[in-house]
């Protein structure tokens, strides 16, 4: 048989999703792949029941149902002040995973260089390989996850065509300050590069941090491709609803990629999700307060266990130092598999997020009910004994 494609040979399956499979096999508490164990807003699921009876059940227009795009435009304007034309500047996708891939396919040619901050969400590596881009990794240096502006400029000097910005950032929990974003914007403009943003955690922010939309900085609207999703904001990771917001010129390209990749997001789910997009401010305030609570429960527990970890400014992950618990010669991956088997808690090995040789971290998420978090913390106590 002839070899299969080179582009699918060079990367592994997602470690995040693999850890979920191992966790499920072992019946563990899954703190690896980030998704909540609580329900979406009732108004959305009630609407979904109505939609099941009333439809739509057939294709929506390929770039997303009109009312859904209008609701996205309204929400984005409300939170960012950006004026968006729902008919020319939005494509609705199957999650932000498709949004990112479609953005990359629309922006880069094979061989183009793309700046990726490390640690990074593992999909970006695969997105780069599938679109033929060559990633240039710029370290976000722990514990603050700051970057060196000189190192970033060096990456642009190498001719980077685009930068991927995950803000708030997975897995570091970093929320980029306005000053940092201004620095990125200045370089993008000076070196004529695009910025593809992944802003899925925009509403999961811990005070006093604030989310700044890079696209709102002067000169950035036309060179920013915003990728986002409803997964985290409305606790509907399984609905697979995401979107891209960009200038009409860019959206024209994204539409074509999306059209041939997936045709469209699920019509009934778009219809039901409009209820979410139209939620009042109080909804987002409650969401943030709920996450602040879960973060407090989990990080207080980790502190009581004497663990050392990153305290996130946004998103819902912590990177925990596994050095005291790891056996000699054991990789972080082997440690995480053993932790699932021996303690019944699943995490993602840190090395799957870092370009640098980092082998002493695991990522845990805390989008779970209090009982589950307390039980996970109890179980992790066993790590100290093993
Ligand atoms: N963003 C979440 C994580 O990092 C889930 C990603 C996914 O599996 N689509 O765990």
- From ligand 1's centre to the CA of 190, what distance in Å? 33
Percent of all residues in the chain with a pLDDT value above 90, rounded to a whole number: 95
Report the distance separating Cα 344 and Cα 31, nearest Å. Answer: 10
pLDDT single digits (tens) 192-233? 999 999 999 999 999 999 999 999 999 999 999 999 999 999
From 34, 119, 364, the mutation candidate for ligand 1 (largest count of ligand atoms within 8 A of CB) is 34
Closest-lying ligand 1 atom to the alpha carbon of residue 348? 10
- From ligand 1's centre to the CA of 386, what distance in Å? 29
Whether 132 shows a pLDDT value over 80: the answer reads yes
Domain map of the chain by residue range? Answer: 15-40+282-385, 54-279
Closest-lying ligand 1 atom to the alpha carbon of residue 237? 9
- From ligand 1's centre to the CA of 357, what distance in Å? 22
Report CA-CA distances (Å) from 106 to 8, 186, 225: 19, 23, 10
- From ligand 1's centre to the CA of 17, what distance in Å? 8
Whether 116 shows a pLDDT value over 90: the answer reads yes
Query: Contact 247/96 with Cβ under 8 angstroms?
Result: no
Predicted confidence at residue 13, as pLDDT, reads 85
Q: How many CB atoms lie within 10 A of CB 148?
A: 12
Predicted confidence at residue 12, as pLDDT, reads 82
Q: Which residues form ligand 1's pocket by a CB distance below 6 Å?
A: 16-17, 33-34, 97, 121, 170
Query: Contact 171/354 with Cβ under 8 angstroms?
Result: no
Decide if domain 15-40+282-385 falls under CATH 3.30.930.10: no
Whether 295 shows a pLDDT value over 90: the answer reads yes
**Mean predicted confidence (pLDDT) in 33-43:** 96
From 35, 123, 236, 348, the mutation candidate for ligand 1 (largest count of ligand atoms within 8 A of CB) is 35
Mean pLDDT of the chain: 97
Residue 233 — φ and ψ, nearest 5°? -70, -35
Q: Whose CA is nearest to atom 9 of ligand 1?
A: 97
Query: Contact 293/374 with Cβ under 8 angstroms?
Result: no
Residues near 88 by beta carbon (within 8 Å), at least 6 away in sequence: 248, 251
Query: Contact 88/251 with Cβ under 8 angstroms?
Result: yes
pLDDT single digits (tens) 142-183? 889 999 999 999 999 999 999 999 999 999 999 999 999 999
- From ligand 1's centre to the CA of 279, what distance in Å? 24
DSSP 232-260: TTTT-GGG--EEEE--HHHHHHHHHHHHH
Q: Fold match between 15-40+282-385 and 54-279?
A: no
Closest-lying ligand 1 atom to the alpha carbon of residue 97? 9
Query: Contact 322/360 with Cβ under 8 angstroms?
Result: yes
Encoding tokens for residue 319?
Answer: 């990177």
- From ligand 1's centre to the CA of 216, what distance in Å? 26
Predicted confidence at residue 11, as pLDDT, reads 82
- From ligand 1's centre to the CA of 70, what distance in Å? 27
Encoding tokens for residue 11?
Answer: 């990367």
Report the distance separating Cα 177 and Cα 175, nearest Å. Answer: 6
Whether 263 shows a pLDDT value over 90: the answer reads yes
Predicted confidence at residue 386, as pLDDT, reads 62
From 95, 237, 348, the mutation candidate for ligand 1 (largest count of ligand atoms within 8 A of CB) is 237
CATH code for the domain defined by 54-279: 3.40.640.10
**Mean predicted confidence (pLDDT) in 45-53:** 98
- At 385, the pLDDT band (50, 70, 90 cuts) reads low
Report the distance separating Cα 245 and Cα 223, nearest Å. Answer: 11
Report CA-CA distances (Å) from 54 to 49, 68, 135, 276: 9, 17, 46, 18
C-alpha angle 42-48-49 in degrees, rounded to nearest 5: 95
Report the distance separating Cα 7 and Cα 19, nearest Å. Answer: 23
Query: Contact 249/89 with Cβ under 8 angstroms?
Result: no
From 21, 36, 94, 121, the mutation candidate for ligand 1 (largest count of ligand atoms within 8 A of CB) is 121
């Amino acid at each position: 048989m002839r070899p299969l494609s080179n582009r699918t040979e060079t990367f592994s399956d997602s470690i995040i999703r693999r850890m979920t499979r191992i966790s499920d096999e072992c019946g563990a508490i899954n703190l690896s792949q980030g998704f909540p164990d609580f329900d979406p807003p009732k108004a959305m699921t009630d609407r979904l029941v109505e939609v099941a009876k009333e439809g739509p059940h057939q294709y929506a227009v390929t770039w997303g149902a009109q009312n859904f795009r209008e609701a996205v435009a309204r929400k984005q304007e409300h939170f960012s002040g950006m004026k968006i034309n729902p008919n020319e500047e939005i494509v609705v996708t199957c999650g932000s995973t498709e949004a990112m891939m479609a953005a990359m396919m629309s922006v880069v040619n094979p061989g183009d260089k793309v700046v990726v901050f490390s640690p990074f969400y593992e999909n970006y590596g695969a997105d780069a390989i599938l679109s033929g881009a060559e990633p240039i990794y710029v370290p976000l240096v722990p514990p603050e996850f700051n970057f060196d502006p000189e190192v970033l400029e060096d990456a642009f000097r190498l001719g980077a065509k685009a930068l991927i910005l995950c803000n708030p950032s997975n897995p570091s929990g970093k929320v980029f300050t306005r000053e940092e974003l201004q620095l990125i914007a200045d370089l993008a403009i000076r070196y004529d590069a695009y910025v593809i943003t992944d802003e899925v955690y925009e509403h999961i922010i811990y005070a006093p941090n604030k989310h700044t939309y890079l696209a709102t900085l002067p000169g950035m609207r036309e060179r920013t491709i915003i990728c986002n999703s409803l997964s985290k904001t409305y606790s509907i990771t399984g609905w697979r609803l995401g979107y891209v917001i960009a200038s009409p010129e860019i959206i024209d390209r994204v539409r074509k990629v999306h059209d041939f990749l997936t045709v469209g997001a699920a019509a009934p789910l778009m219809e039901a999700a409009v209820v979410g997009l139209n939620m009042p401010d109080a909804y987002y305030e409650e969401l943030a307060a709920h996450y602040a609570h879960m973060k407090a429960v989990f990080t207080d527990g980790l502190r009581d266990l004497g663990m050392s970890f990153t305290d996130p400014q946004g998103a819902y992950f912590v990177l925990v130092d596994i050095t005291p618990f790891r056996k000699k010669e054991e990789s972080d991956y082997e440690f995480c598999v053993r932790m699932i088997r021996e303690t019944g808690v699943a995490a993602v090995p840190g090395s799957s997020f870092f370009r640098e040789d980092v082998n002493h971290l695991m990522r845990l998420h805390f989008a779970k009910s209090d009982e589950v978090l307390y039980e996970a913390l109890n179980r992790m106590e066993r790590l100290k004994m093993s």
